[in-house]
Amino acid sequence: MLTLITGGGGFIGSHLATYLFDETEDDILLLDDFSTGNPENVSHLIDHDRVELIQGDVIETGTIEPLVERSDRVFHLAAAVGVQRIVDEPLRSMRTNLVGTENVLEAAVDDRTPVFIASSSELYGKSEDVPFAESDDRVLGPTSSLRWSYASAKAIDESLALAYHRDHDLPVAIGRYFNIVGPRQTGQYGMVIPRFVEQALANEPLTVYGDGTQTRSFTHVADAVRATYELLTTPEAHGEVINIGAPDPTSINALAERIIELTGSDSDITHIPYEEAYNENFEEPQQREPDVSKLEATLGWYPSTDLDRILLDIIEEREQAVVPE
């Protein structure tokens, strides 16, 4: 069995690669252009003869087609991620998300190669009807706010995948990720937990965007990659859209306070208006909480790693990365 992971050098992709290496006998093919991924994320794997790492871009058909043709299944995780990156590079982000997904699906048709499509809770937009179920209506802001371009692109990705499933009987499973966090995640593109942890360990102010009352549900990456693998290998999940998340929301203010407590930091908390952090047209959803009943019904479980365990794993990693003077 040869498994392809696009975005295999990224945060989630590298953890999925480790999961496959440890839990299966698959040979693993990793594709990444390293625009946001890092070869160091898979440095513990690439010397093994079961793992091959290729630098390339999913929007190039000449790159992706032969890789999909070689593979027995595909986990398509390559995407432009992070709010900051979407705002800074909207055109590149949309092309990566839209063209890359269509290329993967089209390449998989001839052999009906099973494909997992990574989607996002961003699709729910600024709906206040929590917890979010997969069949819920979406509420997005105007197109003039580029913040919503990622949600729109991911919605089209899902529609493409479902159309390929219907028209070509292609086995596809779609997972909507809710704030996946854990070791190896960078705060460079707006990811809040690694950014807070790094600030706390440096005794710098933790910068909260907005008033901090907005809530998020954080999911340990170990739970996310297990669910990702099981959804693609569960036939009942094919042709379905399923939330992947933990149903325990916390406010960003409470998150900052807990990180300060766990790190023993002397940091304070400062609040920065969204328009100062991003731009004057920026909008941020107030709530993000998944309905996981469909995931539980499909797999028999749902992510339940508690927030403290998630935070301690990230804190430990960052502490070990500090080089003594």
Residues annotated as catalytic (active site), given as ranges: 150
How far CA 243 is from CA of 111, 125, 132, 223, in Å, comes to 27, 14, 9, 12
Q: Is 130 within 8 Å of 287 (Cβ atoms)?
A: yes
How far CA 20 is from CA of 1, 8, 45, 254, 276, in Å, comes to 11, 12, 11, 35, 42
Q: Is 178 within 8 Å of 244 (Cβ atoms)?
A: yes
Strand partners, 241: 174
How many C-beta neighbours within 10 Å does residue 207 have? Answer: 15
Reading the block at residue 161, the tokens are: 């995948």
Q: Is 212 within 8 Å of 59 (Cβ atoms)?
A: no
How many C-beta neighbours within 10 Å does residue 2 have? Answer: 15
289 CB contacts (<8 Å, ≥6 apart)?
130, 131, 132, 178, 215, 217, 245, 247, 249
CA–CA separation, 59 and 23 (whole Å): 30
Reading the block at residue 230, the tokens are: 């099981």
CA–CA separation, 188 and 195 (whole Å): 8
Q: Is 5 within 8 Å of 17 (Cβ atoms)?
A: yes
How many C-beta neighbours within 10 Å does residue 250 have? Answer: 14
CA–CA separation, 113 and 68 (whole Å): 8
Helix (H, G, I), strand (E, B) or coil at 310: helix
Reading the block at residue 2, the tokens are: 């040869």
